[in-house]
Amino acid sequence: MSDTAKQPNFLFLFPDQWRWDWLGCSGYDIPVKTPNLDKLAANGMRFTQCRTNSPVCAPARAALATAMRYHHCGVPNNGHNLDTSRDTYFKHLRDAGYRVAASGKTDLQKHGIWKGLDGWTTAMGQLGFTQAVNQAGKHDAVNAGTQKPVDPYMAFLHEHQLAQVHADDYKRRGQILSSDRQGNDMKIDPTPSPFSSEHHTDDFCGRAAMDYLKQWAVGEPWHLWVNFPGPHEPYDPTVAQLAEYDGVRFADPVNPGPVANDHQAIRRAYAAMITGIDDWVGRLIDQIQKRGEMDNTYIIFASDHGEMLGDHGRWNKAVAYEPSVHVPLIVSGPGIKPGKQCDALVELIDIAATITDLASLAVPESWDARSLRRLLLEDATAAHRDIQLSGLMNWAMIYDGQYKYIRTDNQADELYDLHADEIECNNLATHLPQIAEQLHERLTQELAR
């Protein structure tokens, strides 16, 4: 596009490990406070059926970046980096003249930990970014030790003589640094962070994003990807954030495990982290308003995967249950009618095609992602996908809008009717073998493409 002033901007808010139902506007009876995201949904469209292509950080983010499903994205787990030669939607934006910036935990180059003390490495440029303050994940930064920082956040803590405080806090939590990455039941410590907002990791990410919005010239097109490390565990909100939930009671986990945990304290801490990030959502949007760019900016909110929060005796993610694979998605911006809800089956990777399409760039036919443009700007009831896929290592999942089928190596197949059994407690694989076989065949076909 020759007239760059007409190219829209994109604020892509992408926190880590945020369940789809933990929003004030989700329609679920969960007393979590998200006033700014609720306002964003009221001004735009909330998607009720978005699922991640893989419920672990690095594969989910690689799939999003490449606009390819899990089995095509080239990152099977957190032990692999995204090959910098791969096509990414970031490269398409950069080549069209966009500033392409990131703050926070991108996890596109997770393996190896080193992120650069200023958050910039050659790999980030090769992936399509023009600027970045790329943080290591919560565990990665601390696991690297306190002698030599490996990312800008730990470097920041070193400057303030707080790196050891941070490491000691994680060590005290015990289970965090040696937690079961498959999310099995474990003892959880939900006590607040020793840091105030001045030194908390989510605030560090938010400030880096804010700095970009304050520094950039108005009128030059930009894409800002804000990757808050929270509400990923450890459940460590600030003391002030946690105080907002004094006396608030949440529903207990579905089918909890045998380990004795204070589920109310854990859920209050998770909610407090969410509210802290929501506050940053409001601040960043306010800054866009100050720039006079609201009429030309699309704001997207989503997450890489969910959080089990003790449901089915599990924590973290990495499984095919809804709390792990079902993610929030809100989009607001020019041409999107306010207060809309879309129930179409949407995959996380579709965000990549959507941003590319809304930027008036060609969406490559080779991508697995499909643009949401028609749903957003024309008809929220239009056909989009008839199935969704997700997977990780030894399992793959297909969902057709009612039935979810899960195939796991060396284990019995699972089939759930999410219309009748949203909490996935009744495996129907042996009761409805015809449906299970149909979905098995479709899954096999899709994975062979």
Q: Report the percentage of the chain scoring pLDDT > 90.
A: 87
- What is the C-alpha separation between 106 and 183, in angstroms, rounded? 22
Confidence of residue 183 (pLDDT cuts 50, 70, 90): low
Handedness of CA 347, 351, 352, 353 (dihedral sign): positive
Tokens of 350: 């579709």
State the pLDDT at residue 411.
Answer: 87
Q: Largest Cα–Cα distance in the chain?
A: 62
Model confidence at 3: pLDDT above 60: no
Termini Cα distance of the chain: 33
pLDDT tens digits, 365-381: 999 999 999 999 999 99
pLDDT tens digits, 222-261: 999 999 999 999 999 999 999 999 999 999 999 988 877 8
Q: Left, alpha or beta for 247 (phi > 0: left; psi -120 to 50: alpha)?
A: left
State the pLDDT at residue 137.
Answer: 83
Q: Report the percentage of the chain scoring pLDDT > 70.
A: 96
Give backbone dihedrals phi and psi of 6, rounded to 5 degrees, phi first: -95, -5
Domains and CATH numbers, the chain: 4-385 (3.40.720.10), 394-449 (3.30.1120.10)
More confident residue, 449 or 8: 8
- What is the C-alpha separation between 87 and 89, in angstroms, rounded? 7
Q: What is the mean pLDDT of the chain?
A: 94
Integer Rg of the chain from CA: 21
State the pLDDT at residue 182.
Answer: 54
pLDDT tens digits, 37-92: 999 999 999 999 999 999 999 999 999 999 999 999 999 999 999 999 999 999 99
State the pLDDT at residue 174.
Answer: 67
Give backbone dihedrals phi and psi of 38, rounded to 5 degrees, phi first: -60, -40
- What is the C-alpha separation between 57 and 108, in angstroms, rounded? 9
Residue type, 283: R
- What is the C-alpha separation between 226 and 11, in angstroms, rounded? 8
pLDDT tens digits, 138-162: 877 777 667 789 899 999 999 999 9
Q: Say which range, 1-5, 29-33, 49-53, has the weakest mean pLDDT.
A: 1-5
Q: Angle at the Cα of 271 (from 265 to 275), degrees rounded to 5? A: 140
Model confidence at 177: pLDDT above 50: no
pLDDT tens digits, 160-172: 999 999 988 988 8
Q: Please compute, for residue 169, the number of CA atoms within 13 A of its CA located in the half-sphere on the CB side.
A: 21
* Element containing residue 12 per DSSP (H, E): strand 9-13
> Which is nearest to 81 in space by CA: 131, 124, 51, 145?
124
pLDDT tens digits, 432-444: 999 999 999 999 9
The per-residue DSSP string of 279-334 comes to HHHHHHHHHHHHTT-GGGEEEEEE-S----TTGGGB-SS-SSSHHHHEEEEEEE-T
Residue type, 271: A
Tokens of 48: 């009720």
Q: Beta-carbon neighbour count of residue 252 at 10 Å?
A: 11
